[in-house]
Amino acid sequence: VEATGRAKFDANGDAYQFSGIIQDVTEEYQLQVRKDEFISVASHELKTPITSLSASIQILQKLVKTNPGSDKVPVFVNKASNNLSKLIHLLDDLLNVTKIQQGQLALNINRFDLVDLIKDSCEHINPLNEYEFVFIGDTQLMIYADYRRIDQVMVNLIGNAIKYSPQSKRIEITVFHDDETATVSVRDFGIGINPQKLPHLFDRYYRVDAFGHQFSGLGLGLYISAEIIARHNGKIGVDSTVGNGSNFWFNLPIDDKLNL
Ligand code: ADP
């Protein structure tokens, strides 16, 4: 809360009237704190893959000179490539936020099978079958939406489900529909979320564990996902229990009368 006030004084210098404005700036203040914090988090998040990428390239440069046939070469090429992907992903998120703020997140609507998209996203994220994805519900569901953007939402939700479930490898993905709406939910059995934090999760820069640094991230994935779903005239939400896991869901209108 911010208060500004003024006092009127009589001839003896005693105050005889006060006037003032009390303004609730809590939200504004919190956004500013998160923004300041975000710059330090973002610098750290960008620096980690850059440092690792730079180390891999130095090792590769040495190996190319001294032992180009070494079986370490593909290992470091892979490491470098993974860190480069992380960087591209981080920069994409930052660019997406700018686009959203400028109202320039354009959609490219096509007709496609939502279940296909989800299975593709899962395969992409889980090439070594480290995680157990369980698919429930529809086996095919044609919708009109922006394929690339919905893929981005799925990658964010599945990526979080993996990241925030260090002890569990199981993720359940449910797809169902009624006449008008397709609903997708991504359920994990991870750390869960404190109920007090739930209302802020989809805010820009919001991270539950910002100071703890236990999990990496910029706090932008859910904000961007919520914007993408809102642009499709859909809804996004979450149910969660600390210690039992979270269930993130979104829905989209199925038909082509999106009026976008
Ligand atoms: P981040 O880059 O921090 O993961 P997100 O916008 O994707 O940012 O998520 C915001 C916050 O919501 C995260 O910092 C995390 O605390 C919480 N969160 C998101 N998904 C999950 C999940 N599946 N389980 C527990 N917490 C989650």
Strand partners, 240: 246
- Give me 199's structure tokens: 């209302």
pLDDT band at 229 (very low <50, low <70, confident <90, very high): very high
Confidence band of 119 (pLDDT split at 50, 70, 90): very high
Residue 257 alpha carbon to ligand 1 centre in Å: 32
Is pLDDT of 257 > 60?
A: no
Token digits of residue 196: 């007090």
Percent of the chain with pLDDT over 70: 93
State the average pLDDT for the chain.
Answer: 90
Atom of ligand 1 nearest to the CA of 161: 23
Label residue 211 by pLDDT band (50, 70, 90): low
Q: In DSSP terms, which residues pair with 19 in a beta bridge?
A: 6
* Cα separation of the two ends of the chain: 39
Among 87-91, 112-116, 208-212, the minimum mean pLDDT is found in 208-212
Is pLDDT at 259 greater than 50 in this prediction? Answer: no
d(CA 241, CA 138): 26
Q: Is 116 in the pocket of ligand 1 (CB under 6 A)?
A: no
Question: What residue type is assigned to position 193 of the chain?
Answer: I
pTM of the model: 0.83
- State the pLDDT at residue 22: 67
Cα distance between residue 154 and residue 31, in whole Å: 26
Highest mean pLDDT out of 1-10, 38-47, 111-120, 206-215: 111-120
Tell me whether 0.85 is exceeded by the ipTM: yes
Q: Which residue has the higher pLDDT, 37 or 145?
A: 145
- Specify which residues 110 forms β-bridges with: 145
For the ranges 3-7, 149-153, 177-181, 252-256, which has the lowest average pLDDT?
Answer: 3-7
Nearest CA to ligand 1 atom 13: 207
Spatial separation of the C-alpha atoms in residues 22 and 194, rounded to whole Å: 31
